[in-house]
Amino acid sequence: MKDKVVVITGASSGIGKALAFAFGREQASIVICGRSLEALETVGRELSQHGIDHLSLQADVSLESDVMKLIDTTIQHYGRLDILINNAGITMRSMLQDMDPEVIRKVMDINFMGTVYATRYALPHILKTKGSIVGISSIAGFRGLPVRSGYSASKAAMNGFLEAVRTELLHTGVHVLLACPGFTTTNIRFSALDKEGQVAGETVRDESKMMSAEECADHILKAVKRRKRDLILTTEGKFVVFMNKWFPGLMDRLVYNSLAKEKNSPLKKA
């Protein structure tokens, strides 16, 4: 990773922040973006304290103009772009029948269209370096999760989009990685949108039993180095993907019963 230029969206916390440190420790130059300027400045100070070369840029990936500026500024500053990590994302928690459809649109704009914008405008530069495009997806992209229909849809869309892009780039030398963490200890659940699109502000799962963001970032770093095609993390995640492919009816029941146990779940317990 020495002297590589890495753009990480949504890097002011969680997996994105952990990725900035993971790649930075490998002597890459890091460009981080996020919507909160205060959070970005905090991460930037921490990166500086560790001697990591970086650039912090405020950007909302759901806005095409912000993403164009992010990529343009990266090229102006570093002159190249080697790795794009599409990490920015939000989640939601509500039954469809109770939800304002605008919630799903907002999730899709950030999780899916943010990936489309960043990949599209970074691609000409990544083609020159024969670099990597990474999508931080989710097990929910393979197996839809009840009470998270919008989130599941956005990650399934990302999966299909990047698979198509990978095939388009088959003979170009560009690497495309789809990384799918299971439940990870990040802020994403605390910032989940409720049925009206408001931030819920609490997690409904036991965070102590989840993979840490730092461990997740280390796995993704190794996968980029090895130019892997797919990365499915956690034993639970691998089980879900395998079982959903071969025993989808059974998985409907298992997933329902599992998520019905969450705190304040609207699903009726079997």
- Per the model's pLDDT, the better-predicted residue between 99 and 199 turns out to be 99
pLDDT in tens, 203-234: 555 556 678 899 999 999 999 999 999 999 98
Q: Is residue 249 part of a domain?
A: no
pLDDT in tens, 77-111: 999 999 999 999 999 999 999 999 999 999 999 99
What pLDDT is stored for residue 239 in this prediction? Answer: 92
Q: Is residue 260 part of a domain?
A: no
Q: Is residue 196 part of a domain?
A: yes
Q: Is residue 244 part of a domain?
A: no
- pLDDT grade for 115, boundaries at 50, 70 and 90: very high
What pLDDT is stored for residue 138 in this prediction? Answer: 93
Instruction: Provide the number of structural domains found in the chain.
Output: 1
- pLDDT grade for 202, boundaries at 50, 70 and 90: low
Q: Which residue numbers are catalytic?
A: 151
pLDDT exceeds cutoff 70 at 9: yes
Q: Is residue 242 part of a domain?
A: no
User: What is the domain extent for residue 17?
Assistant: 5-236
What pLDDT is stored for residue 100 in this prediction? Answer: 92
What pLDDT is stored for residue 262 in this prediction? Answer: 86
Residue 69's CATH number:
3.40.50.720
Q: Is residue 69 part of a domain?
A: yes
What pLDDT is stored for residue 234 in this prediction? Answer: 86
Range 36-63 average pLDDT: 94
Q: Is residue 243 part of a domain?
A: no
What pLDDT is stored for residue 201 in this prediction? Answer: 59
pLDDT in tens, 138-176: 999 999 999 999 999 999 999 999 999 999 999 999 999
What pLDDT is stored for residue 268 in this prediction? Answer: 81
Range 123-135 average pLDDT: 98
Q: Percentage of residues in the chain with pLDDT exceeding 70?
A: 93
Give DSSP secondary structure letters for the chain.
-TT-EEEESS-SSHHHHHHHHHHHTTT-EEEEEES-HHHHHHHHHHHHHTT--EEEEE--TTSHHHHHHHHHHHHHHHS---EEEE-----B---GGGS-HHHHHHHHIIIIIHHHHHHHHHHHHHHHHT-EEEEE--GGGTS--TT-HHHHHHHHHHHHHHHHHHHHTTTTT-EEEEEE--SEESTTTTT-B-TTS-B--S--S-GGGSEEHHHHHHHHHHHHHTT-SEEE-SHHHHHHHHHHHH-HHHHHHHHHHHHTTSTT-SSPP-
Q: Is residue 257 part of a domain?
A: no
